[in-house]
Amino acid sequence: MKKELHPAKHVGGTISVPGDKSIAHRAALFSLVAKGPVTVKNFPGNADCQRSLEAVQKFGVRIEKSGNTIALTPPESFTFSSDDETIVDCGNSGTTARLLAGIAAGMPITVTLTGDESLQSRPMKRIIAPLSEMGAEITHNDFHLPLTIRGRKLLPFEYHLPVASAQVKSALLLAGLASSCSVTIREDKTTRDHTEIMIGTLGEGIEQRIIKPVAVVDPNDPRKKKMEMPEPFKKEVTLSSRAVIHGGEVDIPGDISTAAFFLAAAAISGGTVTVQHLGVNPTRTAFLDYLKSVGATVAIKDKQVISGEPRATVSVTGGKRKPRRIAGETTVGLIDEIPIVAVIAAFTPGTTIIRDASELRVKESDRLTAIAENLKRMGIKCGLLEDGLAIEGGNELPGADFISFGDHRIAMAFSIASLFLVGPSTIDDDSVVGISCPEFYTLLDSITK
């Protein structure tokens, strides 16, 4: 539904955001490989995570809800025959599709995974190729959904991730758990480690090795030393063939990717927004580092670790902004937040360059194109690059009629932009925010006047 948006006279306040989407997906899907019940606290009510709950329910997991606490009880045994086919509609959720593909590959079942038009356009070769190497039989639509997976006992596997992807890493680790086979994953760029943490919290049998540079003699000048990586990768994750998920409790912190929109509003306005119980896993805090780098003040207090995941109270206060170039590993850490980073850039004097973001072309929309189109609608000069954007910031920008492109993060990012435009704006479909945060506009109203 089209929604009218209005400028804000003031931005500030304290909020709590729904539970982290990435952790919630994993908590639900882990019930398929757990020996005992899994209790999940602060499970978010968004459409994507509901797809993961519906998926495990199809395989016999009993679900009991009490508020935002969910008890997941796996059946005593999975009695499927490989001849019995189960069809799972993953909707718009790429995490559900990719992680469930890993679990299905290691179980003696046949599963067809499908999804909406957007999800069917997203690349699946990145999981199809390694799972097939492990021994799974996968039929696909030119490496897109729908996928039909005929699971079986898989082979021990070592894999060097060609693309930085926590979803691929997690799919392979879950395949190993489902099939009781060892898996070793090596990463050039460190990705989200929620799966590794959850295996350690609910079970055992996983080890992580972080590779750090060491000082060696410079062959060009023996009087000097230089730093070199002793291995051709930054991180190695090893799952034992005896790894097991016993069950237990997962208490989900607030989603930092959702909080990013409200913290950005503070950074642009000069006001202060505080988010309580916010997940601050180091693989997810690149956005906080970015806010500091462009001139905002970021305060983190009351830090604690629950269910293996750090959380804290985070406050952001806006200041005089300056542009920053974003590329390489910084882009990897900010990949979900690039839409709102682009909005901050639009209100920052100077030119912001974003590179190495080609992954955004195969998200819920082509996010690079969607960002560029909406920035131009509000009068910003924006160059669309093959793997990024060049954004020239401005001020006294007019209201605009924004297009969501069916993408929740695009809708939320430009709803934030509308707060600082001169005159009213619109977004063509406000309902898409329900994919990740149905409460978005209620929370936004609570920090604006």
Q: What is the pLDDT of residues 387-417, one digit of tens each?
A: 999 999 988 999 999 999 999 999 999 999 9
Residue 70: enclosing H or E segment and its boundaries?
strand 69-73
Give me the numbers of helices (H) and strands (E) for the chain, helices first please: 14, 24
Among 388, 387, 390, 379, which Cα is nearest to 345's?
Answer: 390
11, HSE (Cβ side, Cα atoms, 13 Å): 28
Q: What is the rounded CA–CA span in Å between residue 25 and residue 257? A: 15
Q: How confident is the model at residue 338 (pLDDT cuts 50, 70, 90)?
A: very high
Tell me, what's the pLDDT at 81?
46
pLDDT in tens, 177-196: 999 999 999 999 999 999 99
Q: 292 near 263, Cβ under 8 Å?
A: no
pLDDT at 38 over 70: yes
- Please tell me whether residue 170 adopts helix, strand or coil conformation: helix
Which value, in Å, is the radius of gyration of the alpha carbons in the chain?
22
- pLDDT band at 224; cut points 50, 70, 90: confident
Average pLDDT score over residue span 147-159? 96
Q: Which of 178, 192, 40 is nearest to 102 (CA)?
A: 178
Distances (CA, A) of 362 to 101, 193, 335, 356: 19, 22, 12, 13
Domain ranges of the chain: 3-18+253-446, 21-250
Same fold yes or no, 3-18+253-446 and 21-250? yes
Q: pLDDT tens, 69-98?
A: 999 999 887 655 445 568 999 999 999 999
The end-to-end CA distance of the chain, in Å, is 23
Query: What tens digit of pLDDT does each residue of 411-437 get?
Result: 999 999 999 999 999 999 999 999 999
Question: Which residue shows structure tokens 């209201």?
Answer: 399
Residue from 396, 41, 438, 432 nearest 249 by CA? 41
Do 128 and 140 contact (CB within 8 A), yes or no?
yes
What does pLDDT average to over the chain? Answer: 95
pLDDT at 78: 63
**What CATH number should be reported for the domain whose range is 3-18+253-446?**
3.65.10.10
**Sign, Cα dihedral of 361, 363, 368, 372:** positive
Give the mean model confidence (pLDDT) for residues 95-122. Answer: 95
Question: How many angstroms separate the CA atoms of 313 and 420, rounded?
Answer: 26
What's the confidence (pLDDT) of residue 84? 58
Burial of 395 (0-12, 13-18, 19+ CB in 10 A): exposed
SS3 category, 135? coil
Rounded to whole angstroms, how far apart are CA atoms 199 and 38? Answer: 12
Residue 366 is among the residues annotated as catalytic for this protein: no
Side-by-side strand order, sheet with 297-306: 13-16, 272-279, 309-317, 297-306
Active-site annotation holder among 20, 89, 336, 407: 336
Fold entry, domain 21-250: UDP-n-acetylglucosamine1-carboxyvinyl-transferase; Chain (3.65.10)
User: Phi/psi at 400 (nearest 5 deg)?
Assistant: -145, 160
Cβ neighbours for 329, distance < 8 A, ≥ 6 positions apart? 189, 190
Q: Are 79 and 101 in contact (CB under 8 A)?
A: no
